Every structure is written in C-alpha cells, then in structure tokens.
Amino acid sequence: METYRAILKGNQLEWTDPAPVDLNPEQPVEVTILEERDQTANRRKRMAEALEKLAASDAFSEISDPSAWQREIRKDRPLPGREV
C-alpha cells in the first residue's frame, strides 16, 4: 500500500505531492483525516497548562516515597535479585 498526501476540497482530493500514476478511474481508497497543526499545538498548550496547575497544587505532596506508592498502587512484586 502506498501513501500519498492530498487536501480534501469539497468532495475531491487535490494532490499536494506528485499524483499517483496509472490509477484505475474508480480506484478504491481509504482516507485518513489528519489533525490540523493548530489543533495539535493548542492541545499541547492546554496539557502544559494543566500540568502546571497540578504541580502548583501540590496534589501529591503527601506521598513521601513515590516508588513505594507506585508499587502499592500497581501491586508490583520485587524483581528476583533486587532489593526493595
């Protein structure tokens, strides 16, 4: 399967890369709608803001030993030959 980049304009694809050659006029295709770059950048910004708020809230300050807490939460068992 080959991948070609295009922009959907109405109900037609406009190739942004060189167009595929020797296609059947009724060639079946699958189209994946990509996120716009602005949406991705906006999502990253919102995630960074949320993490900053979480860090500022000291939400996990009562956890003195994060590794022990994680083992308890995940019910981890010590690995053979390693001390806890």
Dig out the tokens for 40 from the structure.
Answer: 């991705």
**What's the pLDDT at 76?**
66
Q: pLDDT by residue (tens digit) across 39-74?
A: 788 888 999 999 999 999 988 889 999 999 988 888
Query: Do the bridges between strand 12-15 and strand 6-9 make them parallel or antiparallel, or are there none, so unpaired?
Result: antiparallel
**What's the pLDDT at 49?**
95
Q: What percent of the chain has pLDDT over 70?
A: 96
> What average pLDDT does the chain have?
86
Give CA 29 to chain center in angstroms: 25
**Among 36, 26, 15, residue whose Cα is nearest residue 3:** 15
